[in-house]
Each structure stands twice: as C-alpha cells, then as structure tokens.
Amino acid sequence: MMRYPLLLHTILERAHRLFPGKEIVSRDFSGMFRYTYGEFYERVCRLANVLQKMGIKRGDRVATLAWNNHRHLELYFAVPCTGAVLHMVNLRLFPEQIAYVLNHAEDRVIFIDQDLIPIVEGIRGQIKTLEHFIIMTDAGNLPESSLKPLDSYESLLRQSSPVYDFPTDLDEWSPAAMCYTTATTGDPKGVMYSHRALYLHSLMSGMVDTFAVSEKDVVMPVVPMFHVNAWGLPYTSTLVGAKQVLPGMRPDPRTLCQLIQAEKVTVTAGVPTIWMECFKLLEDGSYDVSSLNRIISGGAAVPRVFIEAYEKKLGIPVINAYGMTETTPLVLLSRPKSYMKDWPEERVYARRAKQGLYVPGLEIKVVDENGNEVPWDGQTMGELHLRGPWITEEYYREPVLTGEAMRNGWFKTQDIVTIDEEGYVYICDRSRDLIKSGGEWISSVDLENNIMAHPAVAEAAVIAMPHAKWQERPLACVALKEEFRGKVTAEDILQFLRGRVAKWWLPDRVEFIDEVPRTSVGKFNKKALRHKFFSELFN
C-alpha cells in the first residue's frame, strides 16, 4: 500500500474540494461573521503565505491566545499544513504560567484576540522568544499597544497571495500542534500532537459509535479551541464538511442557546457545568433547540440526574466522554450497547452515567498497584492505562516527567477507575482526589454525584481532610440552589446519603458554599477548596 503520509492537509483539501459552499459561522467581536469553506480555504492559503514571509519554518512553534472563532480555525490549518506547529495557549492559565509555556515552547510568533492583549502586555518582560505579535483583527481595530512589532491579521492577509502549494512530503510523525496541561501542581506540561495522531483521531471521531460527526451536522464546539484541539472537532468537522458554529469570546449560556436556535446546531460539546447552566434556560422553553440531537459532555461526568432530565424533559441525549490533554483527546464514550434497549431504564442510565467504552483504535487496561489487571466487576478500583496511536508517549522536553508517566509502553492516566462486566469505565477519581480512609478508598466523585442527586443541591465537591485515626476523611462542600439556601441543613444532606452510600463513606463535615470554584477549563477546582479548608486547620 502507498507510503502516503497521514497529514492534516488531506483534511483541508477535502472540505475545499467537496464542500466549498458549506458554511462556517463565527461569533466575532463585532457580531456574526459567516463565510464558506471555499472562502475559508483561500484565507488559509493567504495565512500560509503570511507565515512563510515571516520566515516560519517547519517545526517552528506559532502560538495562539484566542477564543473559538474563524481566525483561530484558519490558524488550526495554516500553521500545521505548512509544517509549523500550532501552540494553542490556554488563556485561563495564570499570567506567569502563560509566560512559562510561551518560553518553554519557544514560540516565535503569537496570534492574539483583541481583548486578550493586556494578558500578553502584562508578561512582556518575561517572554524570551516571541518575535512578532499579530492581533486577530483588522487594521482599523488595531489598538495602541506596548507589544512590538505589532500587526493586524487582516492587513497581513490582504497583502498575501490567495494561492499556496501545501507540502505533501511532510513526515506524518512530525508535530502539528501542541497544548499544555492545566497543571494543578507544578508547571504545565507540553503535549505534541502529530499529523498522524490528528488524522487518525479525525477518522475515528466521524464513526457512528463515537462523536458521529457527519456532513449533515452543524457542530458547535463550546470546549475552547485552546483546550486539547477543541476535542478534535474542528478537524473532524472539516474532514466531513460539516457546518461549523464557533461561539467566540466568553459565550454565556444564553448566547449558546441563541446560537443553537439560530444556526440549527445539531451537536455541541463542552464541560458538564455548561449543560447544567443551559438546562435552566431550556427547561422553560424560551429557545427552540429542536435541531440539537446530541450533547457531548467531557472533562467530568454529567451526573445521571442531568442525563435523565435532558432526555426526558428536552428529548436531547447527553453523551459522556472522557479524554485528556495527553490523549488528543477522545478515549472513552458512553453510548448504550444495542442489546441494552431491552434492559430496565435504571440499568441503562447507570451505564450512561459512566465514561463508557474505549473507542475503536485504542487499547486500555485497568491495573492495581502491581500492574495486574483488576477484575471487570464495576467494583474494584485501579488505574487506567492507555495505548494507541493518539496517546502521548512523552511530555515535551520533560524526560523525568515522561518517565514517571509511562510504564512498559502504556500511558498512566493517574485516573482511578472501575470497569464493569460490559467494559464501561467509571472514573472514580484522580488518584490525588481519592480519599484513603482506614486503608480503604472513598471516591470523592461518587459522593459528589450522590449529594447532587438531592433536589435542593446545585453542586457539590468533596475533598479529603487529614484525620489522626483514619488518615483521611471526606469533607463535603455543598452549594444549594438559591431557593433552598438556609432551609437545608448538613444533617439533611447526611440523611439523604444514608442508604445511598456505605456508612463509612458519610462525610465527617458538610460545609455550605455559594458555588464550587472552577479551574481554567471549567472543572471543579478542588485544589482551591483544599487550600481554603486546609488553611483553617492551621489557623
């Protein structure tokens, strides 16, 4: 068979040739911007010429600090298809972390959305390798800035040729893109995505049993484009010629619902907190979201009550998925198997609330501390290990951390999971979030889900508190829905949990808070909670 390299170029060309009239819609700073794949392609070519004129060579890193918009999508293709590497910087990192990743990646150029200029200005003194700052706007909107040399994206594009001959001789193993983990301890760690990995991940994401992205879809990634390739959706959507809807800067639940209605979005994807917030808006019928036929939720499991509510009240299936920065990202996805249609609803929802089955093309195993596979009983906890063509085998320029993350060719996720007799994986906890009580493990995630099933609870996070006798004991931080505040007691919560969890799992303390703090990608920030309650211990 042909020595044909698996390159992102093949994806770009297909949309250009077969679907030139299909639309890309972008929520820009000045309103809605619409164009076609045909026009998109021409601008990607112009951008490739801009990069060439700047002297960007194969392997050079090009950074973006940007929201989900059409210019970011153009960079998603122009940078890797010329052979350079797209470094999507997480704009929610602390400024000193942003400086760290820009320096660590040795980015030569950075493309910045106009509202994010102050972030870069603030760390200008710490940045070592950037030679060029490009603001993703037209010349008229180019602000005064201390960043030099400064250019406007649109001016550069206008000055460039709309024709570019993309190389087809790149090595498929060459890096196409990179992201850094949102480190909760230590510095962020870099992960390089090869052309090969992204090509394979794109084929896989178009499969019926995974994301099932098709030409008929209207795809709106709410997951940020600075976070793990926006779960690969920009690449998969382009490969199959799906209409794309990019929701722009800080989209709030109302904006998202409006976009779904206006653009007839069929599939959207993001962290569960977003779907919980949107639910309130959708429940009262203010928006017509009948076009939406699935929601993909990742980053944390959607509690079962929400899956049920979405399906029964709105008729929209919510699909739990699981992946990480290190895995491109898709690893697990929770769809029921065909024969489960005859199962009692209860049993099916119990599976769907898990992270699910590993997707085609990968291998997984769940191992105990000695590296032996645990039984598939849905009870025994073990660490999830992964192997496959879109799983990382190293952290960029971090040989020591790489060594710690790998074991005999498998990537150790540090996620503690169970796997049941049907192969559905359930993430009990990050290994550091597990509560070790009297030699046994308590899953903080499990406790949270049970607390969140209480009708008065908006959200809950459980952390481990040091304990003299038991080593660790759970503390539950509970945010009540507004109308229940002051009306529900800690004892009410504990009473609700009795019978739902083992007696020794019951939290030693229940603390009411206004809301659970979030990390930069919208997950529960347990580090902040631990910091808050640990500090109390020592005051």
Note the residues at the interface with a second copy (CB under 8 A).
1-4, 6, 10-11, 13-14, 17-19, 21-22, 173, 192-194, 196-197, 199-200, 202-204, 206-209, 212-216, 239-241, 328, 337-339, 357-358, 360-363, 387-393, 409, 411, 422-423
Q: How far is the CB of 398 from a second copy (least distance, A)?
A: 15
CB-nearer residue toward a second copy: 50 or 178? 178
Active-site annotation holds for 128? no
SS (H, E, C) 34-46: EEEHHHHHHHHHH
CB-nearer residue toward a second copy: 22 or 354? 22
CB-nearer residue toward a second copy: 76 or 166? 166
Q: Which burial class, exposed, middle or buried, applies to 5 when counting CB atoms under 10 A from its CB (0-12, 13-18, 19+)?
A: middle
Q: How far is the CB of 193 from a second copy (least distance, A)?
A: 7
Out of 264, 337, 436, 481, which one is annotated catalytic? 436
CB-nearer residue toward a second copy: 190 or 248? 190
**Are residues 475 and 506 in contact, defined by beta-carbon separation less than 8 angstroms?**
no
DSSP 8-state class, residue 72? H
Q: How far is the CB of 328 from a second copy (least distance, A)?
A: 7
**Are residues 219 and 245 in contact, defined by beta-carbon separation less than 8 angstroms?**
yes
Q: How far is the CB of 335 from a second copy (least distance, A)?
A: 8
CB-nearer residue toward a second copy: 287 or 390? 390
How many CA atoms does the CB half-sphere of 521 hold within 13 Å? 24
Q: How far is the CB of 420 from a second copy (least distance, A)?
A: 11
CA atoms of 83 and 140, how far apart (whole Å): 31
CA atoms of 195 and 199, how far apart (whole Å): 6
CB-nearer residue toward a second copy: 194 or 273? 194
Out of 277, 441, 527, 532, which one is annotated catalytic? 441
| Residue type present at position 79 | V
CA atoms of 485 and 473, how far apart (whole Å): 25
Active-site annotation holds for 231? no
Rounded to 10 degrees, the C-alpha dihedral 390/392/393/394 comes to 150
DSSP 8-state class, residue 312? I
Q: How far is the CB of 69 from a second copy (least distance, A)?
A: 23
SS (H, E, C) 436-489: EECCEEECHHHHHHHHHCCCCEEEEEEEEEEECCCEEEEEEEEEECHHHCCCCC
- In b/e form, how buried is each residue of 207-220, taking b as 16+ CB within 10 angstroms? eeebbbbbeebbbb
Active-site annotation holds for 268? no
Active-site annotation holds for 412? no
Out of 172, 263, 326, 448, which one is annotated catalytic? 326
Q: How far is the CB of 177 from a second copy (least distance, A)?
A: 11
**Are residues 416 and 430 in contact, defined by beta-carbon separation less than 8 angstroms?**
yes
CB-nearer residue toward a second copy: 366 or 445? 366
Which active-site residues does the annotation give? 181, 326, 436, 441
